[in-house]
Amino acid sequence: MLVSLLWKLHSASRRRAFSSLPFARIAMATPGGHPKDEMYLGAVIPKRIQLFQAIQSQQKSHLDSLPHDSIRVTLPDGTVKEGKRWSSSPLDIAKEISKSLASNALISQVNGVLWDMKRPLEADCELKLFTFDSDEGRDTFWHSSAHILGESLEQTYGCKLCIGPCTTRGEGFYYDAFYGELGLNDEHFKQIEAAASKAVKEGQDFERIEVTRDEALEIFSDNNFKVEIINDLPSDKTITVYRCGPLVDLCRGPHIPNTSFVKAFACLKASSAYWRGNKDRESLQRVYGISYPDQKRLKEYLKNLEEAKKYDHRLLGTKQELFFCHPLSPGSWFFLPHGTRIYNKLMGFIKSQYIQRGYEEVKTPNMYNMKLWETSGHAANYRDNMFLLNIEKQEFGLKPMNCPGHCLMFQYRVRSYRELPIRMADFGALHRNEASGALTGLTRVRRFQQDDAHIFCREDQIKDEVRGVLDFIDYAYKIFGFTYELKLSTRPEQYLGEVETWDKAEAALTEALNEFGKAWQINEGDGAFYGPKIDISVSDALNRKFQCATLQLDFQLPDRFKLEFSAEDETKLERPVMIHRAILGSVERMFAILLEHYKGKWPFWLSPRQAIVCPVSAKSVDYAKQVRDRIHQAGYYADADITDRKIQKKVREAQIAQYNYILVVGEEEANTGQVSVRVRDIADHSVMSIESLLQHFADETAAFH
What is the tens place of the pLDDT at every residue in 102-140?
999 999 999 988 999 999 999 999 999 999 998 899 999
The whole-number average pLDDT for the span 559-578 is 89
Could you tell me where in the chain the CATH 3.10.20.30 domains are found? 67-131
How close are the terminal C-alpha atoms of the chain, in Å?
69
Helix pair angle (45-65, 11-19), 10° resolution? 110
Cα-based distances in Å from 32 to 40, 69, 189, 215: 19, 57, 12, 36
Q: What is the pLDDT of residue 16?
A: 38
Cα-based distances in Å from 200 to 151, 164, 259, 265: 11, 18, 5, 9
Cα-based distances in Å from 399 to 136, 200, 433, 444, 455: 35, 48, 11, 17, 19
Per CATH, the number for 317-364+399-597 is 3.30.930.10
- Count H helices and E strands in the chain, helices first: 24, 34
- Residue range 33-56, pLDDT digits in tens: 444 556 667 788 999 999 999 999
Q: What is the pLDDT of residue 698?
A: 94
The whole-number average pLDDT for the span 8-21 is 38
The whole-number average pLDDT for the span 142-154 is 96
Q: What is the pLDDT of residue 681?
A: 81
Could you tell me where in the chain the CATH 3.40.50.800 domains are found? 611-702
Could you tell me where in the chain the CATH 3.30.930.10 domains are found? 317-364+399-597
- Given the candidates 3.40.30.10, 3.40.190.10, 3.40.50.800, 3.30.360.10, the CATH classification of the domain at 611-702 is 3.40.50.800
- Given the candidates 3.60.21.10, 3.10.20.30, 3.90.420.10, 3.90.1200.10, the CATH classification of the domain at 67-131 is 3.10.20.30
Other residues' Cβ atoms within 10 Å of the Cβ of residue 483: 12
Give me the count of residues in the chain.
Answer: 705
Burial of 215 by CB count in 10 Å (0-12 exposed, 13-18 middle, 19+ buried)?
buried
Candidates 631, 691, 622; CA nearest to 661 is: 631
b vs e for 23-50, b when ≥16 Cβ sit within 10 Å of the residue's Cβ? Answer: bbeeeeeeeeebebbeebbbbbbbbbbb
Residue-wise DSSP of 547-559 = EEEEEEEESHHHH
Query: Which residues on adjacent β-strands are paired with residue 209?
Result: 241
Cα-based distances in Å from 425 to 389, 430, 470, 560: 26, 14, 16, 21
pTM: 0.79
Candidates 272, 298, 256; CA nearest to 105 is: 256
Question: Is residue 15 within 8 Å of residue 46, measured between CB atoms?
Answer: yes
Active site residues: 403, 432, 450, 452, 454, 533, 580
Other residues' Cβ atoms within 10 Å of the Cβ of residue 70: 10
Helix (H, G, I), strand (E, B) or coil at 672: helix
CA distance 287 to 174: 5
Q: What is the pLDDT of residue 10?
A: 40
Q: What is the pLDDT of residue 169?
A: 56
Q: What is the pLDDT of residue 231?
A: 93
The CATH class that applies to domain 2-62+136-308 reads alpha beta
Could you tell me where in the chain the CATH 3.30.980.10 domains are found? 2-62+136-308
Q: Return the H-helix or E-strand segment holding 395.
A: strand 394-398
Amino acid at 212: T
- Residue range 607-664, pLDDT digits in tens: 999 999 999 999 999 999 999 999 999 999 999 999 989 999 999 999 999 999 999 9
